[in-house]
Amino acid sequence: MSPVIAVMIIYLGLLAAFAIWSRRETGTLKGFYLAGKKLPFWVVAFSTNATGESGWLLLGLTGMGYAVGAQAYWVVVGEILGIWLSWTLISRRLKRLSDAHEAITVPDVLAAKFKDRWHLIRGVAVIIILTMVTTYVTAQMVASGKALNGFVGIDYEIGVVVGSAIIIAYTFVGGHKAVSYTDVMQGLLMLLGLIFVPIVAVNAAGGWDSVMSNLAAQDPKLVSMFSLTEGGVGGWVAAASFVAIGLPFLGVPQLLVRYMSAKDENELRKARWVSVFVLLFFTFGAVTAGIAGRALFPGLEDPEKIFPTLSSELFSPLVAGVLLVIVLAAIMSTADSLLLLASSAIVRDTMQQLLGSKKTDHQLAGYGKIVTILIGIVGIAVAIPDAKFIFDFVLYAWSGLGAAFGPTLICLLYYKKTTWAGVVAGMLSGFVTSIVWVEQFKEQTHDLYEAIPGFIAGLAVTYMVSAMTHKPTTQQSDG
């Protein structure tokens, strides 16, 4: 048995153990989708980071470091700023609101303060979540296929099926609790990998000065993050877009439910600093690994294969097996959360709330497990024929979800006059603006990242519509 396969078997055994240990919590919707709201700070912190980063961290962001060099450090700045703002502005207020209204999903929270007779808030939220999560899950399936192809050499299509089947299985058995605790293990593995691999790669390239000299010979723009701003308006737009990648941290539902699953607000205070510092190591390490990889292995056809290339070329088969597990951990830590998010949108928000299902809580939790499997199968079917670039694929869904929910949630938590109509209009405007920007305006605006106009539109529309429709009553109605 090869060392890579041996490491994989051990890792899969640990995932199975977490799933079996967590299965008792999955008998209710609250247990299956939020782990009973009992998670400690260190689990919430690592689960938030691992879920937010996904396969794009080790494949997409390292590939970006390989492609554009030090300019990719602007993404590090943006991610740290974004996660800090999310913990500071959103986490505790969201937890307080979700507990007060016994909310299980983000649509629950958005609809909590309103007599939403037509269920438009929940309906619009479900459509947005399912549309974007399908894209996002597909990106993770693509990443699993690329990772197994790059490390083990199996066909991309087989890699998609194998990696996806593992994710679906332990999510089905253990629910949010299994997902969160495996996120801790996966997050720790990612942290070790993104400290260890960049150091070894830089040393193999002859040290940092040698790396910079090598990159300068290839292209002087690769050695300074500020070289991006030398291109006039286009350069500044690019820098702003890289920084804005952290903006959706304020609104992507798969992260927001982490705040809702915490034991209490005090746990969130402690979790914030763990999360921020760990994310700094994550992102800085990923970009640095890509930069060192450019010096060591220039001319790769697919930049997103630099991390598997570094792992297989610089390390023994045993260590390479561990690094494969780290890549899969990054993929799994997001894919499992996305499966639960989509499942909750169908079972809790659609079946129970929109359609008024009379099934018991236990029965609905069982349906949630079945739906989780079905969504995973859809992701596999879409991923197999289309191995797109992970970075672009993830950003498309990341920005759409963030622009739809971030601005409306900020208004809901901080603007007391926010109305039912404002929430609906804000979600739609942020989401639609983000999508239309990609399709119609991005090429004409120096590739301005779609989350920026999406957030601006979402905030402006939520505020203006709320100001026009606000009535001085204790609870807003849909008319």
Domain ranges of the chain: 3-105+132-391
Q: Is 220 exposed, middle or buried (0-12, 13-18, 19+ CB in 10 A)?
A: exposed
% residues pLDDT > 70 (the chain): 95
pLDDT at 478: 57
What is the average per-residue pLDDT within 343-371?
89
| Separation of CA 461 from chain center | 25
Closest CA to 348 of 179, 137, 108: 108
Q: At 114, give phi and psi (nearest 5°).
A: -125, 150
Contact 370, 71 (CB under 8 A): no
> Model pTM?
0.89
Based on the number of CB atoms within 10 Å of its own CB, is 266 exposed (0-12), middle (13-18) or buried (19 or more)? exposed
Sequence-distant (≥ 6) Cβ neighbours of residue 92 within 8 angstroms: 259, 265, 268, 269
233: Cα separation from own chain's centroid? 30
More confident residue, 287 or 235: 287
Write out the two tokens for 88: 């500071």
Q: Between 228 and 77, name the one with better pLDDT.
A: 77
Per-residue pLDDT, averaged over 27-33, amounts to 88
Q: Which of 242, 243, 287 is nearest to 60 (CA)?
A: 287
Asked if 423 contacts 110 with a C-beta cutoff of 8 angstroms, the reply is yes
Residue 464 has pLDDT above 80, yes or no: yes
Closest CA to 391 of 322, 252, 275, 290: 290
Regarding the domain with residue range 3-105+132-391, which homologous superfamily does it belong to in the CATH classification? Sodium/glucose cotransporter (1.20.1730.10)
Residue 462 sits at the vertex; the CA angle it makes with 459 and 466, to the nearest 5 degrees, is 140
Over residues 160-187, the pLDDT tens digits come to 888 888 888 878 787 888 888 888 888 8
Q: What is the pLDDT of residue 387?
A: 55
Tell me the DSSP string of 417-434. T--HHHHHHHHHHHHHHH
Count of positions (residues) in the chain:
479
Q: Which of 82-86, 188-192, 387-391 is predicted with the least confidence, judged by mean pLDDT?
A: 387-391
Contacting residues for 449 by C-beta, under 8 A, at least 6 apart: 240, 241, 242, 244, 245, 395, 399
Q: Which of 304, 282, 274 is nearest to 52 (CA)?
A: 282
Angstrom CA distances, 316 to 149, 158, 286, stand at 18, 25, 20
pLDDT over threshold 60, residue 118? yes
**What mean pLDDT, rounded, does the chain reach?**
88
Beta pairing partners, 114: 476
Tokens of 10: 């051990």
Q: Where residue 338 falls among pLDDT bands split at 50, 70, 90?
A: confident
pLDDT at 287 over 90: yes
Question: Using 50, 70 and 90 to split pLDDT, how confident is the model at 460?
Answer: very high
pLDDT of residue 324: 80
| CA gap 231, 54 in Å, rounded | 31
Q: Which of 67-76, 127-136, 223-232, 436-445 has the highest mean pLDDT?
A: 67-76
Give residue 479's pLDDT.
Answer: 47
User: Which has the closest alpha carbon to 137: 367, 377, 368?
Assistant: 377
Local confidence band at 189 (pLDDT 50, 70, 90 cut-offs) = confident
Confidence of residue 388 (pLDDT cuts 50, 70, 90): low
Q: How far is CA 378 from CA 127, 135, 168, 329, 333, in A?
A: 16, 10, 12, 21, 19
Residue 386 is predicted with a pLDDT of: 59
